[in-house]
């Protein structure tokens, strides 16, 4: 089994790649739907146009909340590590440990923020493919 930080990095890479492929297709399908709807969009088109804006707001808030919680957890872990054996604080390895903790924290925050957006984009592609546009 790979270490947790390696799995997290693989998850970030996978989510980034999924978003890289899904986002342009979603934009193209929705732009085509807008172009075909012209001046008098059908009820189905209006529902999709409304969904475009509401889901972006929801994804932003979900992503922001996940990033906040990941940063909060990282700060708690950092504070907790400072209280454990005082000899560690005075050791020469402490800067390296703090640096490693910072790198893991950045990856955790990035992964937490990317996951909801990637998940929604992939779900949109699947849904829009089923509808035929």
Q: Which residue has the higher pLDDT, 19 or 38?
A: 19
Does the pLDDT value for residue 127 go beyond 60?
A: yes
pLDDT at 118: 96
Q: How many residues does the chain have?
A: 133
Give percent above pLDDT 90 in the chain.
56
Mean pLDDT, residues 8-26 taken together: 94
Does the pLDDT value for residue 126 go beyond 80?
A: yes
pLDDT at 17: 96
| CB-CB neighbours of 25 under 10 Å | 15
Candidates 26, 4, 7, 29; CA nearest to 118 is 26
The residue written with tokens 């929604």 in the block is 120
Q: Which residue has the higher pLDDT, 40 or 20?
A: 20
In tens, the pLDDT along 83-122 reads 666 555 556 666 666 677 778 888 999 999 999 999 999 9
The residue written with tokens 């996940």 in the block is 66
**Using 50, 70 and 90 to split pLDDT, how confident is the model at 123?**
very high
User: Which three-class secondary structure state does DSSP give residue 93?
Assistant: coil
3-state helix, strand, coil in the chain (%, to 5): 90, 0, 10
């Amino acid at each position: 089994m790979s270490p947790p930080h390696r799995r997290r990095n693989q998850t970030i890479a996978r989510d980034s790649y999924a978003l890289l492929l899904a986002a342009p297709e979603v934009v193209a399908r929705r732009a085509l739907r807008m172009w075909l709807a012209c001046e008098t969009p059908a009820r189905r088109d209006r529902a999709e146009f409304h969904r475009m804006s509401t889901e972006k707001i929801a994804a932003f808030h979900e992503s922001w909340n996940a990033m906040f919680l990941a940063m909060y957890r990282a700060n708690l872990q950092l504070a907790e590590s400072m209280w454990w054996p005082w000899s560690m604080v005075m050791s020469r390895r402490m800067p390296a440990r703090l640096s490693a903790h910072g790198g893991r924290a950045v990856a955790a925050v990035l992964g937490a923020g990317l996951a909801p957006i990637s998940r929604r984009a992939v779900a949109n592609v699947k849904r829009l493919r089923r509808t035929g546009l």
